[in-house]
A and B are shown apart, each in its own frame.
Chain A
Amino acid sequence: MEIHNMFTLYQQLERINQTYSNWKGYVKYRKVLYLKGVVKPTVISPEYIIKITYIQGEKPKIYVLSPNLEIHPKKEKLPHIWFDTGSLCLDLNEYNIKSDLLAESIIVWVTWWLYYYEIWLQTGRWVAKGTHPDKW
């Protein structure tokens, strides 16, 4: 069964702890991994507080707790977000829930989402690779 090849939440957390000092987390009821990170994507960026909730086998949900995300004056919505949950949408299935480590993918992409968001907020253009380029 494929499911046995999956990293456990504890393995995911262990790898994050080994890799980063700006992320902390814990596993609740063996089912949910909660992560909190302080991310400064560039030296002139503010520090963003990020929360990730990850249920084994599901897509991780990523939220920016602070500072408040703003919307470009000529746009109506934030780019690359799941609007039902408010989670950042970092990938088009590049994260393989069966075989990937959060430390090597999702957490890396959080930085880039924030960097490109900062540019988008000033220019209204999302200059990284993304779906729906006309919209954002």
Chain B
Amino acid sequence: MKRLILEDKRAIIDDLLKRIAENLQLNDSRRKLVNQRYEAVSKYIEDSSGIFNNADIYAQGSYRIGTTVKPQNGEEYDLDFVVQIDKNWNMLSFNYVYNEFKNLMHANENWSTLVIEKTRCIRLNYADEFHMDIIPTCTANRYINQNEIMVPDKKEHSWVISNPEGYALWFESKYIAQTEIYLHDFYPGMEVRAAQPLPNDNPNILKQPIQNAVQLIKRFRDIYFTENEDNKPSSIILTTLIGQLYRGENSIYETLESIIQRFEYNLEYNKVERKQFHIYNPVLPKEIFTKEWDENPQKFNHFVEFMRVLKENWKKINTLEGPDLYKLLNECFGNSVLESALNSQGLFIQKMRDEGKTGILRTTGGAALYQKEKTQKDRENIFHGNS
């Protein structure tokens, strides 16, 4: 730990953004519950006697890459899982595999009442704030790429190709080393933590700036499109765009700033070239995530306008201070998440104080990490007063 976050503008803003993002994602107790349920469902499927015996079962989507965001208006977290079997899909009808899986889930009394049929997946609709969407799939061609899968799609009436694990690996290939993350130097104990491999269940400690950036932009989208749901860009569009424009920036703030700038540049370039801006699946380039922009150009215009408003707000974050900055963060991400973020930052700082790590800068009176020459040492106190 080299400085206190309160001494450094990039750090204090990043710390707040990180805490806002933490308030948006599944909390630790929810994660545990998800894991328990995932394990129970996995065991049941793996041990079953039909075609799903010994299937590979894994997370995909935002839960897989750690970018979940609490939905607005009491909706539920959508957690996606894949059940993958190594059967020759050419020999099986998509309907057969889907129905076999549906029957399997119905056959278990733990889940039979929770099952809901969706276009591609079976949804287990739990009573609390999340549901699990599980897709039964077959490996597309295990000699070429174990991650490419065929998914039964009832709307398309056929198998469709997908590669969620490949996508997750693509996203993860953008990650930077833990020690490079800007906030790394501002939290106690990070040196020890950095030396150990992080557990896979993704503790809410130091996420990658790109993960936090995805969460924040998704949240900003949810708020921006509250009254305009039909034109809301999907999470896969936002996540892919961010992944493609990210260049290893080490803070959340810079990540967002660079993405906004590069998006503008790309937009201009496409305009000059008279091309429609599109976002492709990086691991299945034939798949265009933004196909609907051709059919429905207004959706594209809404998206461009959304990115412009994001840019306007972002410019202000660098110049505003105190209550004005908080007001803006409230508008962007919602009041209750900022409140929790500020309270948790205050408690974190109080802990630094209790541990005797803090001091006061001799030049500005600013709160700082204690260093003999630069600061006056902090001293314990209990605020009092009457009313």
Q: A110 to nearest B CB, angstroms?
A: 7
> How many contacting A-B pairs (Cβ < 8 A)?
159
Q: Is the CB of B382 within 8 A of A123?
A: no
- A6: shortest Cβ distance to chain B, in Å? 19
Binding site for A on B (CB under 8 A): 6-9, 12-13, 321-323, 325-326, 338-339, 342-343, 345-347, 349-350, 353, 359-360, 362-367, 376-387
Return the contact of B376 from the options A77, A108, A122 (Cβ within 8 A): A108
The distance in angstroms between the C-alpha atoms of A70 and B326, with both chains bound, is: 14
| Residues in A whose Cβ lies below 8 Å from that of B321 | 44-46
Contact: B381 with A115, CB < 8 Å?
Answer: no
Sample (21) of A-B pairs whose CB atoms are under 8 Å apart? A19-B362, A22-B362, A22-B365, A43-B7, A43-B366, A45-B321, A46-B322, A77-B387, A91-B382, A104-B376, A104-B379, A108-B376, A111-B360, A112-B381, A113-B383, A118-B323, A119-B343, A119-B345, A126-B383, A129-B350, A132-B387
Closest chain A CB from B339 CB (angstroms): 4
Identify the interface centre among B7, B342, B349, B365: most chain A CB within 10 Å of its CB.
B365
Nearest 9 A/B pairs, CB to CB: A89-B385, A39-B365, A127-B346, A130-B383, A42-B6, A80-B383, A80-B385, A92-B382, A92-B384
Cβ–Cβ contact A20 & B365, under 8 A: yes
B13 and A130 within 8 A (CB): no
Q: How far is the CA of A91 from the CA of B367 in the complex (A)?
A: 18
Say whether A82 faces chain B, with CB atoms less than 8 Å apart: yes
Whether B346 lies near A20 (C-beta < 8 A) is no
Interface residues of A, count at CB 8 A: 57
Contact at A43–B6, with CB atoms within 8 Å?
Answer: yes
Complex Cα–Cα for A121 and B322 (A) = 10
Q: Which chain B residues lie closer than 8 Å to A81 at the CB level?
A: 385
CB distance from B319 to the nearest CB of A (A): 11
A127 and chain B: residue at smallest CB distance: B346
User: Hey, which chain A residues are within 8 Å of B378, CB to CB?
Assistant: 108, 112
Complexed CA–CA distance, A82 and B346 (Å): 23
